[in-house]
Amino acid sequence: MRKSILLSTAVLALVCGGAEAQEALGTNGGPNVPFPGCILFEHANFSGHTFTIRGNYNLSYIGGRWNDKVSSIACNPYCEVTVFEHRDFKGASRRFGANIQYVGDGWNDRISSARVRCSR
């Protein structure tokens, strides 16, 4: 009977969404970025307003309009972006490459500065 209760609790947690945070979701699709750099998107799945960061550029503050507003990122295949939770490259950081349809619950609406690096 105890196994049955534990299993029911686990199924209920899955059905109700559980309390686990969602990780970043990458994709092979998404927008084509034909220039060296990355595009930040206001919403998941590459939607909403966009903000472009050219390759090999450090942006110590993404500005009041974009601070804590990024939910997805598209990069040229030869580029990656390192994002930071605070301005001036401070606080926690995370590196993303390619196309990320959702930055994950831990980074959604949390980005304040970024560095884009391109190999080409």
- For 82-108, the pLDDT digits (tens) are 999 999 999 999 999 889 999 999 999
Domain with 103 in it: what CATH number? 2.60.20.10
**pTM assigned to the model:** 0.80
24 phi, psi to nearest 5 deg: -60, 140
pLDDT at position 10: 36
- Residue 110's alpha-carbon distances to 3, 32, 99, in angstroms, are 40, 24, 18
98-119 burial, b at 16+ Cβ within 10 Å, e below that, comes to bbbbbbbeebbebbbbbbbbbe
48 in a structural domain: yes
pLDDT at position 120: 87
16 in a structural domain: no
46 in a structural domain: yes
Helix runs in the chain, H state only: 2-15
pLDDT at position 94: 97
64 in a structural domain: yes
70 in a structural domain: yes
Strand order through the sheet with 37-43? 25-27, 99-102, 72-75, 37-43, 47-54
Number of neighbouring beta carbons within 10 Å of residue 72: 27
Range of the domain at 84: 21-118
| Side chain identity, residue 111 | I
Strand order through the sheet with 57-59? 57-59, 113-118, 79-86, 90-97
113 in a structural domain: yes
pLDDT at position 20: 60
The number of folded domains in the chain is 1
63 in a structural domain: yes
pLDDT at position 30: 87
10 in a structural domain: no
Low-confidence ranges of the chain (pLDDT < 70): 1-20
pLDDT at position 98: 85
